[in-house]
Amino acid sequence: MSLQITLDFLQQLSYNNHKAWFDDHRQQYKEARDAFEDFLVHAIAGFGVVDSLPPLEPKDVMHRINRDIRFSKDKSPYNTKMSAILGPDGRKSEYGFYYIRIEPNSESIVSTGLKSPSGSQLQVFREAIDEDATPLREIIESASFRATFGEVYGTQVKSAPRGFAKDHPEIDLLRFKEMMASRSFSDNEVAGDDFIEKVIDTCAALKPFRMYFDNLFGLRISS
């Protein structure tokens, strides 16, 4: 089942993000969700070439369409994307995860990395960079990584983190408070018959980057 129907629904939802419209288009939502669930079933089934996953169903990995607006200035009730996390604990995975987002206007991505680390994890990361940044640099500065994923990104401190000099030779890495890498996909790619293969290939290419952090925190789950 093509994800074009999912993209089309999400595009319409972005123009009509309110309950009355959503209620009138619940059948279209169901069809869009069914297409995304079908994609996830096949992605999970073929994921063995990347990682071993426990038995997972789409409901275990998908995020809700409803937004949590309790503490948000934006009171739009629905997400205008569909997303999931493939990892050992599904969408609750804190490590060994790959994030998949389907969003129109060529905003779809697959990503992984160091996301919202605890203070202790961030300190472990920075101490590892201080000791030897070579293993990470060999991954993120390789020609193949740069060609596929470009630069790593994430929130950073403006100057230098506490305990590190502003002129530290690895200051560009030490500034990161989280570090992610991602690949974007056009709407045509998402709607294509080979999108599942592209997602799996992308996750496989991201694996060395993901495993850098898993190994760093002693969370290695596959070889």
Predicted TM-score of the model (pTM) = 0.93
Neighbours of 157 (CB within 10 A): 13
Cβ neighbours of residue 27 closer than 8 Å, sequence gap 6 or more: none
Give the CATH fold of the 4-216 domain: BirA Bifunctional Protein; domain 2 (3.30.930)
The per-residue pLDDT string of the chain (223 residues; one tens digit each, 9 = 90 and over) reads 799 999 999 999 999 999 999 999 999 999 999 999 999 999 999 999 999 899 999 999 999 999 988 888 888 999 999 999 999 999 999 888 999 999 999 999 999 999 999 999 999 999 999 999 999 999 999 999 999 999 999 999 999 999 999 999 999 999 999 999 999 999 999 999 999 999 999 999 999 999 999 999 876 544 4
Distance between CA atoms of residues 191 and 83, nearest Å: 15
Residue in the structure block whose two tokens are 């056009």: 186
User: CA 12 to CA 29: how far, in whole Å?
Assistant: 10
Report strand pairing: 108-114 vs 179-185. antiparallel
Give the list of residues 6+ apart from residue 89 with CB closer than 8 angstroms, or none.
none
Residues 203, 17: Cα–Cα separation, whole Å: 31
Q: Which of 31, 198, 216 is nearest to 121 (CA)?
A: 216
